[in-house]
Structure 1
């Protein structure tokens, strides 16, 4: 629970690319906490290897990454927005009191500012999430919902430490960051919590990099 008394539920263990699984998850969450004031779309995947011999990525890899990174964001976001619109119809119709009804934070990456090489599927999916963020921000601001996007750079997560990735390449990437390290997960999390809170009331439709200066 945060300083303004709202509760956030962390959940996982399902496939965000499945509309059915998302619907089931939202039903379970709404039974536990009907007042859902925030959503973070953080699920994302990348190719397990960048060794594509200079060829385009295979179709099945591109599709799977789009299914998770883009359609996963779409599935969860639309489920949440429909929940708000059906649960609070009287607030949504009240122009004076609907501000602060909800907040969505979508996770993308610094590749929306500077495309990563050999990562067409990820670059495309992350750019699409930015477009979706801006569209939702414009469409739902009048309903009291803010939608923003966090764009982390290289972050020290299990995905980065995947044994299938060339760790020498990872270290090279880290050395290219002006701060000479990857982001810590908690640093990204603090920015997300700020955007979920009621403090940035006048902020919506924004893409906020947190990347150690690599895109300067």
Structure 2
């Protein structure tokens, strides 16, 4: 039985970057708590796999691919939801891009543009489109940022400041959307064992250095980040907006 404070029965949630990692774990957990989940990422087949795993477990889910770095793809996604008569209650902005590791002095503008298009413009436009559809009935929006947004990581300068922008964006949207009953919050994961972070987690020397900075001494699993996102989407967080919640094993302590 789902505790009433975390019961999402009757709600529809859209989760981006949901084909793997934190996004997939979040989609599965929201479905377990009663939400119908729109699983979205760039590849339809990968989204469908996650949606199928949810329905196989008794949940409700559908797959709708979209690249949030492309405005046309976002418009098509929301157009499809509108055509299906979907009432959106929850948005989890989780998709991210980090195409370059190295000194910002050597970064090509193409990599810069890709990072900003997904991590900043994509989050902004997804939130704008979702909020326009939520303002009549309220809702919850959760932005997945990063501890890098508070402490820039070596070799990840642009990614780090794009995540800092997400934190500021969260506060700005929270103030603007509160009168419409839409709550906007952010989650700041630390090092998490995902394919997205594999350049770090699969390098023994890098991991040895990173683990020295994490008091719990290990990387998180995606399933350890998802419950925090669930909380912010749920009635349990009804008085929480404009906040950023860290799940980093003590890294920022």
Report the TM-score, using the length of structure 2 for normalisation: 0.73
1:151 aligned partner: 188
- 1:177-199 CA distances to partner (integer Å, 9 max, x unpaired)? 11111111011111101111111
Report matched runs for 1:1-216 at 5 Å: 3-5=7-9, 6=11, 7=35, 8-13=37-42, 14-32=66-84, 34-50=86-102, 52=103, 55-85=105-135, 88=136, 101-162=138-199, 166-216=203-253
How far apart in 1 are the matches of 2:200 and 2:154?
20
Q: CA RMSD in A?
A: 2.2
Q: Secondary structure at the match of 1:150?
A: strand
How far apart in 2 are the matches of 1:84 and 1:192?
19
- Structure 1 unaligned regions, length at least 5: 92-100
Determine which structure has the larger helix proportion and give its number: 2
Could you tell me whether the CA contact under 8 Å between 2:152 and 2:161 is conserved in 1? no
1:122 Cα offset (Å) = 0.8
1:31 Cα offset (Å) = 4.0
Report the CA distance shift for 1:165/1:75 in structure 2 as closer, same or farther (over 3 A): farther
Report the TM-score, using the length of structure 1 for normalisation: 0.84
Bigger RCO (CA 8 Å, 6+ sep): 1
Report the CA distance shift for 1:165/1:181 in structure 2 as closer, same or farther (over 3 A): closer
How far apart in 2 are the matches of 1:105 and 1:58?
30
Could you tell me whether the CA contact under 8 Å between 1:104 and 1:145 is conserved in 2? yes
- Structure 2 unaligned regions, length at least 5: 12-34, 43-65
1:56 Cα offset (Å) = 4.3
Q: Secondary structure at the match of 2:183?
A: strand
Q: Paired residues, what number?
A: 201
1:28 Cα offset (Å) = 2.1
Q: Secondary structure at the match of 2:185?
A: strand
How far apart in 2 are the matches of 1:23 and 1:16?
10
